[in-house]
Chains A and B, each alone.
Chain A
Amino acid sequence: NAGVTQTPKFQVLKTGQSMTLQCAQDMNHNSMYWYRQDPGMGLRLIYYSASEGTTDKGEVPNGYNVSRLNKREFSLRLESAAPSQTSVYFCASSGYRLGVTDTQYFGPGTRLTVL
């Protein structure tokens, strides 16, 4: 049981390049999330997916797109990377217990630098 996994762990991009961050969970959770964390700051929600086939914007969605490929996988795409997107990106997932959403479990993060 690996929990939440993210690839890659590190990435350096040039301004204008595109890339996709991958996230997978093996806990059969319905909900998945993408956050970013800038130095010295708390996490901010980019997008979330409450269930397979649905996605919604979070606090800072501009410049990103997401795909909920299936129940296990939730990817984050940067179409044209900008230096302001230099950050650490965390994926998380949560399930249900007794009819309410359960606690959230986080992946190890992807450290992205945009030059």
Chain B
Amino acid sequence: DAKTTQPPSMDCAEGRAANLPCNHSTISGNEYVYWYRQIHSQGPQYIIHGLKNNETNEMASLIITEDRKSSTLILPHATLRDTAVYYCIVRVRQSNFGNEKLTFGTGTRLTIIP
């Protein structure tokens, strides 16, 4: 699986959009970009994933550059409850009886400031 690079920490004002960058310059054509977050040592929580098109769900938006070497997770209206460590992971989605091993780095610690 490709390696990712994220800033160790970021701050964002409450109510503003939080933009979390991730560099994955060695990503392969069949690797997806996944985002998880971990709030205060709870179990990681899935946020969103994508292959090459931009994706949006009820939690966030994922913008992937055309060359797929980087991506940005956007939390449109950050709240205090969004304070967490955010992990960007790239991996192949296995078919049939494969498995989804996730390789976690150290992520970005996002602090939402009142």
Contacts and interface: CB of A to CB of B under 8 A. Distances in A.
A106 B44 CA distance: 6
A106 B106 contact: no
B96 A109 contact: no
Which applies to chain B's interface (DSSP): helix, strand, loop or mixed? loop
17 contacts: A4-B43, A31-B99, A31-B100, A41-B106, A42-B103, A42-B106, A56-B99, A92-B44, A94-B100, A100-B95, A101-B93, A104-B100, A105-B46, A106-B45, A107-B43, A108-B42, A108-B43
Contacts of B49: 103
B-side interface size class: 20 to 34
A50 B93 contact: no
Nearest to A42: B104
A59 B45 CA distance: 21
A40 B87 CA distance: 13
A61 interface: no
A89 B28 CA distance: 30
A74 interface: no
Contacts of B98: 50, 101
B99 A101 contact: yes
Contact of B87 (A42, A50, A100): A42
A76 to B, nearest CB: 15
A30 interface: yes
B43 A51 contact: no
Given A48-B99, A99-B95, A101-B100, A88 B41 contact: yes
Interface string B30-50: 000010000001111110010
B106 A50 contact: no
